[in-house]
Amino acid sequence: MRAIRQLETNSPVVIDEVSEPILKDGDVLVRIEAAGVLSYHEDVLAGRLGYALPENPFTPGNDGVGIVEATGKTVVHVSVGDRVAIDPRIFARENVSEPDGMLLALTGLTVGAVEVQKLWPDGTWAEKVAVPSENVTKLPTIAGMDGVGLSRLHKFAVCYGGLSRAQLAGGDTVAVLGATGNFGSPAVPLSLAMGASKVIALGRNESVLDKLSKLSPRVFPVKLMGDPEADAAELRKIVPGGIDLGIDLIGQAKDSSGIQAVIGGLRNGGRVAIQGSMDVPLELPYGSIMARNITIIGAFMYPRDTFRKLGVLVESGALDLDCVEVHTFPLEEVNKAMQRAAEIRGLGHVVLTP
């Protein structure tokens, strides 16, 4: 089969003919219809981000959608022919307090992750991939939507994790920090789909903010000025009593002014989910957080049932995937795909289509 291969770190990837994956008892073999390309994939493969990649050579690609072609002997609830979404978090299966794990073909998450990477070294940038059965979720059949269309569910997965951890409830007011970025932008339509009464989109890219404001009259764009007190005051102009919850999805923020503004704009008893990748320590207003009963929640990735829950939102009509623009590339154009993924902002999604 054809696959993209990383032969050496910081060397161009190549397309090659490789053997099909060997199926372990608890695995499923998935024929890939669409494999996601991250905005920072090129930096990861070049070694610029210090990720704990699998041993070379390997096939990159950490998520995707495809059709199950075969199942291992111990697989019960996944069948040949199912269209599934692939979750990249693979962990050792033993019942221990801190199992070793990784993000498929992207990075190890624990000290002993290399042993897990040896078991599943290759990712989704190929015609087929083998992954543990617990890492796939059967997707609904939606008229007129193929695997490429359903791959847009991956765009919403991370922010669903943060919003669900923060217990977004119908009628809540939500502030999305980093709303103009690749991970933050989908939190705006998803918050609406989950029942938010108002969604404040916080960012600096005015073009993307303008597009987000057109999603619904319940979306209120706010351009961040970098002054926590002034930005918090803007939040309170929109929601005078303070917002119910915030979610931080800024990538590689150089200062904490944004999250400080969100905390300052919370109501008494408000909560904020931290899901970004800030490069500096987070300075917190200790007394204010205590006095106002603020809850700060760490949120990494998302629950196992995320794709099932997102599928329900799409089936019900609450979440319209058409708000996300898909950019497709064949395997042969993987370098163009990585460049495009690095360029786009907001509600865009880049996939390889083997």
Give 193's Cβ-side CA count (13 Å radius). 24
DSSP bridge partners of 49: none
Strand order of the β-sheet with 101-103 is 89-91, 101-103, 107-108
Domain ranges across the chain: 2-152+324-352, 156-298
Residues 181-201 pLDDT 10s? 999 999 999 999 999 999 999
> From the CB of residue 12, how many other CB atoms can be counted at a distance below 10 Å?
11
In terms of phi and psi (left: phi > 0; alpha: psi -120 to 50; beta: otherwise), the region of 238 is alpha
The CATH superfamily assigned to 2-152+324-352 is: Medium-chain alcohol dehydrogenases, catalytic domain (3.90.180.10)
- Equal fold, 2-152+324-352 vs 156-298: no
Residue 176: C-alpha distances to residues 17, 155, 249, 254, 295 (Å):
43, 15, 7, 18, 16
Low-confidence ranges of the chain (pLDDT < 50): none
Q: Give me the pLDDT at residue 255, please.
A: 85
- What pLDDT score was predicted for residue 28? 99
Give the pLDDT confidence score for residue 206 in this predicted structure: 94
Closest alpha carbon to 269 in 341, 167, 187? 167
Sign (positive/negative) of CA torsion 313, 318, 324, 330? positive
156-298 placed in CATH 3.40.50.720: yes
